[in-house]
């Protein structure tokens, strides 16, 4: 009996009770043990008992054993659980489950009520205990509610961002579908403008220096736009189908010179050509021209108004090495890592960031490799190595 009274006194709700009160309480306690995971009282069932836990831990669950099961609280002995059964006749509002082996006493609610009627001090202690529980569960709920609210706000933010991204992606994909058509159509008026500008420049040659300069400017800018549309078109088409033909490096260089002469006119760029490769090779002439034009365009941008650019060709029986070298601004580590990514550009003159991506795609379609060497403030050297022995099925 004295062990039982000592145990009951360790329970917060009963700690202030007098010895006679505790003795009276002990007389209605029935020893009860529960193995771990056993249900001590089930939600929705009649609440006929309360439990004085002496050792072990219990979990208080709502919707226990269902998909929406929610753990409301964990209570550790010594404590009283299920005491609400004394205050009302409603079914259990939660399930009490032993989280570990539990040892304690079951007290029948009816007997307990009778005891309360006789001993006001026990009723008062119970009232205080219940009020403590209500307050603390209120606090738990509020903090839980705040936590969930915060999570909800976060989720909502993520959802909104994902939605925006989706809308953007859809727009981009629509744009992608039509872009090759639009870009293709842009090329016709562009070549007409270029043609008329050529004509104007020809007519004004030697007559009006200023007007001739304007016409040259128009030619220059239209060829920039033509280049840009070419880049976009290649990118939007995705896969590249090469058109191989036998060519010489001399022909390649001649084509390049024709393409860039107007561009270079206004700048103090020292452009040198060094061709040590005389054999005939099989490659896609237009695409390799585009590759070298892209490399040259980047080299010019890197040099600004003044600088030196060298275009060279050398090789062996096995490969052709085309190289564009400049003494421009060079690239840092970060730029080097990203140059082949589509739309990556550090250019403030509205670069598409597609040039190097196209270079890589075309070179790889030729089964070639690219070697990039660069140093900030020193310059850049980009070599493309094209194998001459075409692998079977590559034509
Ligand atoms: N020769 C070079 N010198 C310095 N930076 C270069 C050179 N070539 C490429 N880059 C860097 O790589 C980036 C990507 O090049 P590119 O794909 O051609 O795009 P864009 O020329 O439109 O900027 C450039 O913005 C630049 O930062
Ligand atoms: Mg470029």
Is the same domain home to 285 and 198? no
Q: Which residues surround ligand 2, an ion (CB under 5 A)?
A: 298, 355
Residue 129 included in any domain: no
Ligand 1 neighbour 298 (Cβ under 6 A)? yes
pLDDT of residue 390: 56
Ligand 1 neighbour 347 (Cβ under 6 A)? yes
Which residue among 189, 205, 238 closes a domain? Answer: 238
Ligand 1 neighbour 231 (Cβ under 6 A)? no
Which residue among 188, 203, 238 closes a domain? Answer: 238
Is the same domain home to 260 and 358? yes
User: Using one digit for the tens of pLDDT, what is the confidence trace for 102-115?
Assistant: 999 999 999 999 99
What is the residue range of 49's domain?
Answer: 2-118
Is the same domain home to 73 and 93? yes
Quote the ligand 2 centre to 367 CA distance (angstroms): 22
Is the same domain home to 253 and 217? no
Residue 136 included in any domain: no
Residue 130 included in any domain: no
SS3 annotation, the chain = CHHHHHHHHHCHHHCCCCHHHHHHHHCCEEEEEECCCCEEECCCCCCCEEEEEEECEEEEEECCCCCCCEEEEEEECCEEECCHHHHCCCCCCCEEEECCCEEEEEEEHHHHHHHHHHCHHHHHHHHHHHHHHHHHHHHHHHHHHHHHHHHHHHHHHHHHHHHHHHHHHHHHHHHHHHHHHHHHHHHHHHHHHHHHHHHHHHHHCCCCHHHHHHHHHHHHHHHHHHHHHHHHHHHHHCCCCCCCEEEEHHHHHHHHHHHHHHHHHCCEEEEEEEECCCCEEEECHHHHHHHHHHHHHHHHHHHCCEEEEEEEEEECCCEEEEEEEECCCCCCHHHHHHCCCCCCCCCCCCCCCCHHHHHHHHHHHCCCEEEEEEECCCEEEEEEEEECCCCCCCC
User: Using one digit for the tens of pLDDT, what is the confidence trace for 177-208?
Assistant: 777 778 878 888 998 998 999 999 999 989 99
| CATH number reported for the structural domain that contains residue 325 in this entry | 3.30.565.10
Quote the ligand 1 centre to 340 CA distance (angstroms): 9
Which residue among 191, 211, 238 closes a domain? Answer: 238
Quote the ligand 2 centre to 343 CA distance (angstroms): 10
Residue 163 included in any domain: yes
Is the same domain home to 278 and 158? no
Smallest CA separation from ligand 1 atom 11, residue: 339
Is the same domain home to 287 and 155? no
Is the same domain home to 230 and 314? no
Is the same domain home to 211 and 306? no
Is the same domain home to 82 and 157? no
User: Using one digit for the tens of pLDDT, what is the confidence trace for 274-325?
Assistant: 999 999 999 999 889 989 999 999 999 999 888 999 999 999 888 999 999 9
Residue 194 included in any domain: yes
Quote the ligand 2 centre to 296 CA distance (angstroms): 8
Smallest CA separation from ligand 1 atom 7, residue: 298
Quote the ligand 2 centre to 383 CA distance (angstroms): 15
Q: Which ligand is nearest to the CA of 326?
A: 1
Residue 395 included in any domain: no
| CATH number reported for the structural domain that contains residue 70 in this entry | 2.60.120.10
- Number of the ligand 1 atom closest to the C-alpha atom of 330: 4
Is the same domain home to 211 and 251? no
User: Using one digit for the tens of pLDDT, what is the confidence trace for 5-45?
Assistant: 999 999 999 999 999 999 999 999 999 999 999 999 999 99
pLDDT of residue 269: 85
**Top-confidence residue, 379 or 185:** 379
Is the same domain home to 234 and 369? no
Is the same domain home to 104 and 50? yes
- Number of the ligand 1 atom closest to the C-alpha atom of 351: 22
Domain count, the chain: 3
Residue 42 included in any domain: yes
Q: Which ligand is nearest to the CA of 340?
A: 1
User: Using one digit for the tens of pLDDT, what is the confidence trace for 75-96?
Assistant: 999 999 998 888 777 899 899 9
Residue 249 included in any domain: yes
């Amino acid at each position: 009996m004295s062990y039982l009274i000592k145990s009951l006194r360790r329970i917060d709700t009963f700690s202030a009770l007098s010895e006679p009160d505790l003795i009276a309480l002990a007389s209605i306690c029935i020893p009860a043990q529960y193995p771990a995971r056993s249900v001590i009282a089930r939600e929705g069932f009649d609440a006929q008992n309360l439990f004085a836990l002496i050792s072990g831990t219990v979990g208080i669950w709502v919707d226990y054993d269902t998909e929406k099961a929610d753990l409301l609280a964990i209570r550790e002995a010594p404590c009283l659980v299920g005491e609400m059964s004394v205050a009302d006749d409603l079914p259990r509002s939660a399930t009490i489950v032993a989280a570990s082996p539990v040892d304690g006493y079951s007290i029948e609610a009816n007997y307990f009520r009778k005891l309360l009627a006789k001993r006001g001090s026990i009723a008062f202690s119970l009232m205080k205990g219940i009020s403590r529980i209500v307050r603390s569960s209120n606090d738990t709920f509020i903090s839980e509610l705040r936590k969930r609210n915060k999570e909800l706000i976060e989720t909502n933010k993520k959802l909104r961002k994902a939605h925006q991204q989706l809308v953007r992606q859809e727009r981009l994909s629509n744009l992608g579908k039509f872009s090759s058509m639009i870009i293709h159509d842009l090329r016709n008026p562009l070549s007409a403008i270029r043609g008329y500008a050529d004509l104007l420049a020809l007519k004004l040659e030697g007559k009006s220096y200023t007007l001739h300069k304007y016409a040259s400017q128009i030619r220059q800018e239209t060829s920039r736009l033509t280049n840009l549309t070419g880049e976009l078109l290649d990118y939007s088409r995705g896969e590249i189908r090469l058109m191989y033909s036998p060519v010489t490096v001399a022909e390649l260089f001649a084509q390049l010179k024709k393409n860039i002469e107007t561009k270079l006119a206004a700048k103090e760029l020292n452009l040198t050509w060094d061709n040590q490769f005389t054999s005939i090779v099989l490659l896609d002439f237009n695409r390799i021209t585009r590759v070298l034009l892209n490399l040259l365009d980047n080299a010019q941008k890197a040099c600004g108004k003044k600088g030196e650019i060298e275009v060279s060709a050398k090789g062996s029986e096995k490969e052709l090495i085309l190289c564009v070298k400049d003494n421009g601004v060079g690239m840092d580590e970060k730029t080097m890592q990203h140059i082949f990514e589509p739309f990556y550009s550090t250019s403030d003159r509205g670069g598409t960031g597609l040039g190097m991506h196209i270079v890589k795609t075309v070179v790889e379609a030729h089964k070639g490799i690219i070697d990039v060497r660069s140093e900030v403030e020193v310059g850049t050297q980009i070599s493309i190595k094209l194998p001459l022995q075409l692998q079977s099925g590559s034509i």
